[in-house]
């Protein structure tokens, strides 16, 4: 029987990569408008390279980019980039279709909802509050809570403990097979691959279920719990 549904956050509930792309483009445009002599297309690629090295939650990406280009930090350009990045981020931070109705139906079925995210606590909670999801989940486990990224078992064990359910009573939903699906499977959770949010074509996710829409969870869980 499934008593709790655990979700990854980025690219499972919200379109993180669309938000990141829009924000980076806006930041570069803002720095150029402020007078920085850079090529927009090349600069976007260079910022992505920093993210690929330091992680997509790296907070000093624009600082490093400017220093790399100018050999010093120009605060006028930095301010322009940060302000335009944040404005674009709020505009482009969107949930996938059917997220709210699906969460409400799961809650209405007396299921406990939780989140396990590799994002830092501050960033995860900002996204949850921006999208008005903060009151949908009984508890949230982020990287800061365990100091470990998925597929380490600790984040999955911790969310089950917080929700007061056994691991085999949980369904984990995520877009990353090597982290979300593998980690949950190894601790005994049922798994559902958020194919709709994956940035790659995955032929074999290794999950118990592949989802083309988050709403498919409703019938899947009904089968387990009938």
Full pLDDT tens readout for the chain, 226 residues: 999 999 999 999 999 989 999 999 999 999 999 999 999 999 999 999 999 999 888 889 999 999 999 999 999 999 999 999 999 998 999 999 999 999 999 999 999 999 999 999 999 999 999 999 999 999 999 999 999 999 999 999 999 999 999 999 999 999 999 999 999 999 999 999 999 999 888 989 999 999 999 999 999 999 999 8
What does the pLDDT read at residue 199?
Answer: 83
Q: What's the confidence (pLDDT) of residue 39? A: 97
The pLDDT score that the predictor gives to residue 109 is 96
pLDDT score of 22: 96
The structure tokens listed for 123 are 């960033």
What was the pLDDT predicted at 65? 98
What pLDDT is stored for residue 55 in this prediction?
87
Cα separation, 137 vs 30, whole angstroms: 36
- What whole-number distance in Å separates Cα of residue 55 and Cα of residue 34? 27
Which residue ranges form the domains of the chain, and what is each CATH number? 4-14+94-225 (3.40.50.1000), 17-92 (1.10.150.520)
DSSP letter string over the chain?
Answer: ---EEEE-SBTTTB-HHHHHHHHHHHHHHHHHHTT----HHHHHHHHHHHHHHH-TT-TTHHHHHHHHHHSS--HHHHHHHHHHHHHHHHHH--BPTTHHHHHHHHHHTT-EEEEE-SS-HHHHHHHHHHTT-TTT-SEEE-HHHHS--TTSHHHHHHHHHHHT--GGGEEEEES-IIIIIHHHHHTT-EEEEEGGG-SS--S----SEEESSGGGHHHHHHHHH-
């Amino acid at each position: 029987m499934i008593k709790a549904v655990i979700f990854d956050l980025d690219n499972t509930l919200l379109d993180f990569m669309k938000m990141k792309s829009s924000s980076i483009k806006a930041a570069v445009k803002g720095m150029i408008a402020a007078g920085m002599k850079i090529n927009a297309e090349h600069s976007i690629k260079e910022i992505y390279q920093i993210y690929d090295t330091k992680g997509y939650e790296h907070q000093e990406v624009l600082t490093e980019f400017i220093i790399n280009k100018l050999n010093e930090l120009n605060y006028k350009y930095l301010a322009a980039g940060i302000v335009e990045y944040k404005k674009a981020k709020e505009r482009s931070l969107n949930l996938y279709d059917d997220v709210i109705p699906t969460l409400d139906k799961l809650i209405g079925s007396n299921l406990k909802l939780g989140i396990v995210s590799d994002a830092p606590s501050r960033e995860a909670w900002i996204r949850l509050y921006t999208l008005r999801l903060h009151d949908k989940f009984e508890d949230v486990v982020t990287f800061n809570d365990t100091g470990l990224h998925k597929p380490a078992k600790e984040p999955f064990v911790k969310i089950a403990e917080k929700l007061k359910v056994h691991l085999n009573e949980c369904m984990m939903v995520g877009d990353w097979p090597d982290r979300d699906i593998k980690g949950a499977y190894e601790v005994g959770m049922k798994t559902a691959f958020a194919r709709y949010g994956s940035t790659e074509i995955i032929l074999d996710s290794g999950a118990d279920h592949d989802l083309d829409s988050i709403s498919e969870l409703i019938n899947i869980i009904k089968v387990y719990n009938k």
